[in-house]
Amino acid sequence: MGTIDLPSGIFITGTGTGVGKTVASAILVAGLSARYWKPVQSGLLEKSGLLEKSSFLEKSGLLEKTDTEWVREMTGLPSSHFYPETYRFRFPLSPHVAAEKDGILIDLESMALPETKGHLIVEGAGGIMVPLNEHDLMLDLMKKLQLPILLVAESGLGTINHTLLSLDLLKKHSLPVLGVVMNGPLNPDNRKAIEHYGNTRVCAEIEPLERIDAMTLKNVFRRCFAGDQNE
């Protein structure tokens, strides 16, 4: 898709759960040798839509890892690149429900950006309107952190509506949107519609991956974010 000027801090959100936020985050972490922080982790890592139906995650045993553990293992970066979650819950549920089951109340003020040098990738949980507690949504955390946002969306049927609604909400709250990352088989019609009606650049299209390791992540980064068409 060409080179994109990536800022030092990026918030990764998605049109929903399971759209590929964690793999998109891993690509950026590997390509930029960035730091990674997931403030809220609910349950174990779910299978990402960026993987083929060959069940690479199941074969690797990676379904037993949290997102942070998975990104660390796939990128091969040292532990100093990874910040602990502020909240980590046992059940793979919406954060407000998972927190209630664990007897914990999520406090928005307890989540502050870690001090770091270089790039920082922050990954949200679920989508923009996921509740954190009775009063706050993931949107409120994004407003608090004020990082430029990459919106991850699937490439297939239904994505136009979900993506345009998400972009509209972000813009109504004056949040800075870097662009959209589309995950899945290439779909030029959906990409053009999102760019036209959303007035937002699709800055990367990530096709399904047969496997994931540090080399693959770096190659995908160069191809999708650094404009290297020879990979």
Residue 201 has pLDDT above 60, yes or no: yes
pLDDT in tens, 147-177: 999 999 999 999 999 999 999 999 999 999 9
Residues annotated catalytic, as ranges:
38
CA distances from 198 to 17, 33, 103, 133, 229 (A): 21, 30, 40, 30, 26
pLDDT, one tens digit per residue, over 100-148 is 999 999 999 999 999 998 999 999 999 999 999 999 999 999 999 999 9
- What does the chain look like in DSSP terms, one character per residue? --B----SEEEEEESSTTSSHHHHHHHHHHHHT-EEE-SEEESSPPPPTTB-TT-HHHHHTGGGS-HHHHHHHHH---GGGEEPPSEEESSSS-HHHHHHHTT----GGG--PPP-SS-EEEEEEEETT-BSSSS-BHHHHHHHH---EEEEEESSTTHHHHHHHHHHHHHHTT--EEEEEEESS--HHHHHHHHHHH---EEEEE--BS---HHHHHHHHHHHTB--TT-
Taken in order of first residue, the domains within the chain and their CATH numbers are 9-224 (3.40.50.300)
* Residue 138: both structure tokens together: 């993931």
- Which residues, at least 6 apart from 189, have a Cβ–Cβ distance to it below 8 Å? none
Q: pLDDT digits over 84-98, tens only?
A: 999 999 888 999 999
Q: What average pLDDT does range 26-52 have in this prediction?
A: 79
φ and ψ of 73, to 5 deg: -65, -40
